Homo-oligomer: A and B are copies of this chain.
Amino acid sequence: MKDLSILTKNALFIGLSMREITDFLSAIPCSEKVFQPEDILVHEGDVITHLGIILSGLAVGKKYGLGGEEIIVSRLSVNKIFGDVLSGANGFASPVTVQACEVCRVLFIDYKSLLYSPHSLNHKILQNMIQNISLKYFAQNMRLDILMLKSVREKVLVYLNYQRTLRGNSTFEINLDRRLLSDYLGVDRSALSRELSKMKADGLIDFKKSVFTLKY
Rounded to whole angstroms, the CA-CA distance of A147 and B145 in the bound complex is: 10
Q: Is A25 engaged at the interface, CB distance under 8 Å to the other chain? A: no
With an 8 Å Cβ cutoff, the count of chain A residues facing the other chain is: 37
Contact of A144 among B89, B138, B147 (CB under 8 A): B147
- Stretch in A100-108, A122-130, A168-176 with 4+ CB within 8 Å of B: A122-130
Q: Quick check: B149 and A147 within 8 Å, CB to CB?
A: no
Q: Is A197 engaged at the interface, CB distance under 8 Å to the other chain? A: no
User: Can you name 22 A-B residue pairings with CB atoms under 8 Å?
Assistant: A65-B148, A85-B138, A86-B134, A88-B130, A89-B131, A89-B134, A90-B134, A115-B130, A122-B123, A126-B127, A126-B130, A129-B130, A130-B133, A133-B134, A133-B137, A137-B137, A137-B140, A140-B140, A140-B141, A143-B144, A147-B147, A148-B186
